[in-house]
Structure 1
């Protein structure tokens, strides 16, 4: 029979209200005092160390035996292995030890722990007639032919730490006191195990905090170094450009080095911001259906520039598209997907000094996946488990990829997973590495079509009027010089107020490049006003102020697209060109 708070009177039938003589009452009181003394003696034994030793458990059980001579054992739960392990036992006869199992396994679907939380004791006997789930479970581990058993849950605050097992409990006239005594013993063990668990948890937390501080220090130290490296190049080569005796080739080389260092610096800061967004789950994704080959075409457009930056002609990059008759679309944030692919491509460039890099997509029985494969030096198997772990190792965290900040691959994996995809890789030393970007079936759709030749439109925007709302003159000149070769007419508004006035006075504006941080009226207010007056005019927001939800705010006020500074010429032309087709 299993006993709960309102069902523990199974022993009361053994005696009546007037069944005790004066001597029996005196003995009972004396025995009660002994129980209290034993409990008082056991508490220090179980609470003097951060971990409870086997000797202390044995000494505790020995003291408990002063009250009653029943064989007794204590079991502690091992949640990872789903079992109760015997931690101590005390028997008057050695032969009785074998009656207590070394461990008591359980299965999750048996709800053993949940049931133990609801009861005070499980009573096992060969003559038990009202078998219940816990009885059935425990009867398979204790020999009922040797006698009856009490099994007390060792629990506190609904947390089960183990079991207290007693064989042949004394069912005489003082059994209610004995029941209360063993219940108190179970509580003492529960408090001791709970104290140990709290101490262990605190130690683990302190260890994590200490490790986090060490890794944070290592990361910041590395970031300091990584910032100084490109800044040193930018400042140094800028000073050298002032030399009037430089040849044209030297001047061009210095400019290229300054450009490359600037991009490395911007990429590093972008990675830090993205890592922070991903960790705090503040990154927003704008997923849409996009043709896979269109995505690869855009990557191919940027290929020549990236190839020149790599400063080597020994590495050949190839873009592998899907067959022309396969029209595959993927539901993804294209900007973020390109960012992931760029991270993996730059990583491949860094570790491939000779050979080839392949970027592409393929359809097979596993579904649609993108891949970036290189013939580089590969990744040591010992580092496979660490390569995606952000701030995981002070020794290895900054040595896997270009840029050195140890963020790129971690960002790529986390970003892809938050979009619903998965990133993994195969690699062998000196044989190269292949990264795979996979998506579940619900994220892509495929259909067969007749092959069509892709039509490339030139960037001829003659007759188009573009309004640039930008308060910094240098930034305006930069944008104007990028747009001028297209033949478009450029108009400058120095703040949000001028931008609104220009729109009111000039009905021929075809597109607006809107800086968000401007005096008098910021870009948010100006865009809201313009979209209210002329919602058909595309507005491309641009800003260097990248908060977690900056792009989302832009789309909410009606902006059609978003560019983060520094803006690359090809990126600007491609974004504006979408609205002039």
Structure 2
């Protein structure tokens, strides 16, 4: 038995201290491990949350796209069937033997408007397809901005008057700065869509077309006093399958593709487009394209050309296999001063061109049996390099125009043929 004497201290064994330190180290390691494990779990949880959020957004986006595509297809069906019903229905009414002259003219006007509406829808579908397949290539040529603005002002003025709207042109471009290098076809499509939209959605008031030249850009705008666009729809108005009004009871016809095409075309030209609008007060669509100046072409002697046009006789070869298309062109060019020859296929066109070296012009269809228009043009150029050849086609996909020009065609016109454009081209190439 040990007796503890006063003043003596009991010392703990050395191993006790080591055990305590070891326990503390183990506890620290466990805490660090637990902290790292919690951090890893938190990181994984956040990643899973983000992934789930992305999947949810993707699912919502897919559902929204599906909904918009359904609406789009419904609109397309409506926009195709409605004018077709008008065309077929009123053509059948025109067959009535006892139809009076006033009703006949009214029905003809309805058929014409329905045809134009159907053509606009088809053109929009084709343009969207070309944009999606990246078949749009920029082909810069000399473009006179003042001439283009005046053309569209005069072109849409009758339509504005018919709707009892004021149509104004505000061109602030000096003549010396008016000639630039850009793609005229794309610019035409942009302006046509914007002006058409402005007129369509304006019931009263005015529409204004304007343009000005800045340092490195050309600014265009189309301003109207129409229905305007709700603020919550303005960010989406340029998107595919989207309209300002997605309801099934729309007050205005149209596929809703026009502004999507406009936006795509502006971006192809490396420009920008934006919108300012207030619901019930109107909208202003503005866009810019790069300003690339070019020397102005020499002005032709208009008076001399007009005098020559009125007195000269023309001999024109129409290479066209489709009977209806030929009859239409025949009516467009019906004149005592114009002699028309017809070829129903490419081989026949080459033979008629060989037998008639005095041809004033050839209107060459691209798609024909036996020999297509491209190859027929190539063969004609081997024995007649000077006769003007204008290619015509109902196909508008990229590459065809270049092939026609490369084969030897002087110019290109698309079907359905516009009478004014055709006459301008004939005048251009026969009134030298």
Counterpart of 1:330 (choices 180, 186, 210) is 180
User: What SS does the aligned partner of 2:31 have?
Assistant: coil
Distance 1:281 1:402 in 2: 30
**Residue in structure 2 matched with residue 210 of structure 1 by the alignment:** 63
Matches within 5 A, 1:366-385: 367-385=217-235
Distance 1:454 1:381 in 2: 51
**Residue in structure 2 matched with residue 68 of structure 1 by the alignment:** 30
Q: Which digits, 9 at most, give the CA deviation of each residue in 1:170-201, with x for residues without a partner? A: xxxxxxxxxxxxxxxx6x98877766666655
Provide closer, same or farther for how the CA distance between residues 325 and 70 of structure 1 changes in structure 2, counting only shifts above 3 A.
closer
> Gaps spanning 5+ residues in structure 2: where?
1-25
Provide closer, same or farther for how the CA distance between residues 302 and 466 of structure 1 changes in structure 2, counting only shifts above 3 A.
farther
**Residue in structure 2 matched with residue 517 of structure 1 by the alignment:** 367
Give yes or no for contact 1:295–1:334 (8 Å, CA) kept in 2. no
Flag the structure with larger Rg.
1
Q: CA deviation at 1:320?
A: 3.5
**Residue in structure 2 matched with residue 293 of structure 1 by the alignment:** 146
Distance 2:65 2:123 in 1: 22
Structure with higher helix content? 2
Provide closer, same or farther for how the CA distance between residues 195 and 70 of structure 1 changes in structure 2, counting only shifts above 3 A.
closer
* Relative contact order higher in (CA < 8 Å, ≥ 6 apart): 2
Q: CA deviation at 1:323?
A: 6.2
Counterpart of 1:404 (choices 246, 254, 264) is 254
Provide closer, same or farther for how the CA distance between residues 298 and 534 of structure 1 changes in structure 2, counting only shifts above 3 A.
farther
RMSD over aligned CA atoms reads 3.5
The alignment's TM-score, normalised by the length of structure 2, stands at 0.81
Q: Which digits, 9 at most, give the CA deviation of each residue in 1:265-294, with x for residues without a partner? A: 011011011011112211233221211112
Distance 1:238 1:572 in 2: 27
The alignment's TM-score, normalised by the length of structure 1, stands at 0.62
Distance 2:223 2:242 in 1: 25
Give yes or no for contact 1:390–1:397 (8 Å, CA) kept in 2. no
**Residue in structure 2 matched with residue 229 of structure 1 by the alignment:** 82
Q: Which digits, 9 at most, give the CA deviation of each residue in 1:514-572, with x for residues without a partner? A: 11111111112112212333333322211223334333332333322222211121122
Provide closer, same or farther for how the CA distance between residues 405 and 398 of structure 1 changes in structure 2, counting only shifts above 3 A.
farther
Counterpart of 2:406 (choices 534, 537, 556) is 556
Distance 1:229 1:298 in 2: 31
Give yes or no for contact 2:209–2:223 (8 Å, CA) kept in 1. yes
Q: Which digits, 9 at most, give the CA deviation of each residue in 1:68-109, with x for residues without a partner? A: 3338756xxxxxxxxxxxxx96xxxxxxxxxxxxxxxxxxxx
Q: CA deviation at 1:263?
A: 0.6
Q: Which digits, 9 at most, give the CA deviation of each residue in 1:483-506, with x for residues without a partner? A: 224833222111101110111111
Equivalent residue pairs, number: 404
User: What SS does the aligned partner of 2:317 have?
Assistant: strand
**Residue in structure 1 matched with residue 73 of structure 2 by the alignment:** 220
Q: Do residues 565 (structure 1) and 418 (structure 2) align?
A: no
Q: Which digits, 9 at most, give the CA deviation of each residue in 1:203-225, with x for residues without a partner? A: 54444433333222221111111
Q: Which digits, 9 at most, give the CA deviation of each residue in 1:106-148, with x for residues without a partner? A: xxxxxxxxxxxxxxxxxxxxxxxxxxxxxxxxxxxxxxxxxxx
Distance 1:557 1:397 in 2: 49
